[in-house]
């Protein structure tokens, strides 16, 4: 796979991502926060909250309403081609993807590809 860069994609993020970054403790935190400041935010509205509830009720995601279920709901309702994540437990997990696809199908939602930065950008380029 040829490496790709950020400019090859139309990016979206949400306040949920910004909140997670602000609360986290990790190397290059300031750079990460600076990067997301330049990315348009997706609105979090009532329809997104309903999808989050459905994900929790169908045991697709854990019950933390500001966590993985919210990220997946926003990517699904926004019809994002990719949900970029380092979370390989609940999101970028091949064992969960069929369950996510089935529930999104029941809800009439788009199913984004759930990938890590390395999968999307290729091995020769850093995220």
SS (H, E, C) 71-107: HHHHHHHCCCCEEECCCCCCCCCHHHHHHHHHHHHHH
Percent share of the chain, pLDDT over 90:
54
* CA 103 distance to own-chain centroid: 16
What pLDDT score does 1 carry?
A: 41
Domain range annotation of the chain:
44-121
Dihedral sign, CA of 122, 109, 101, 52? positive
User: Is the pLDDT reported for residue 125 higher than 50?
Assistant: no
Better-scored residue on pLDDT, 93 or 46: 46
Q: At what angle do helices 15-23 and 68-77 cross, to 10 degrees?
A: 150
Mean pLDDT of 72-94: 88
Which tokens belong to 68? Answer: 């993985």
Q: How confident is the model at residue 104 (pLDDT cuts 50, 70, 90)?
A: very high
The per-residue pLDDT for range 1-27, each reduced to its tens digit, is 445 677 788 999 999 899 989 999 999
- Please count the helices (runs of H) and the strands (runs of E) in the chain: 6, 2
21-77 confidence digits (pLDDT tens): 999 999 999 999 999 999 999 989 899 999 999 999 998 887 775 688 999 999 999
Phi/psi at 90 (5° precision) = -110, -20
Cβ within 8 Å of residue 118, ≥6 positions away: 127
Kindly tell me if the per-residue pLDDT of 97 is higher than 80: yes
| pLDDT over 70, % of the chain | 91
């Amino acid at each position: 796979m040829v490496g790709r860069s950020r400019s090859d994609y139309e990016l979206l993020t949400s306040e949920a991502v910004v909140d997670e970054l602000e609360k986290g403790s990790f190397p290059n935190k300031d750079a990460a926060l600076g990067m997301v400041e330049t990315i348009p935010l997706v609105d979090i509205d009532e329809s997104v909250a309903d999808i989050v509830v459905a994900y929790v009720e169908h045991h697709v995601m854990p019950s933390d309403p500001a966590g993985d279920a919210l990220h997946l709901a926003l990517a699904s309702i926004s019809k994002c081609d990719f949900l970029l994540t380092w979370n390989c437990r609940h999101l970028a997990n091949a064992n969960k993807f069929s369950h996510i696809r089935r529930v999104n199908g029941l809800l009439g939602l788009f199913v984004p590809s759930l990938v890590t930065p390395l999968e999307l950008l290729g091995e020769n380029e850093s995220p």
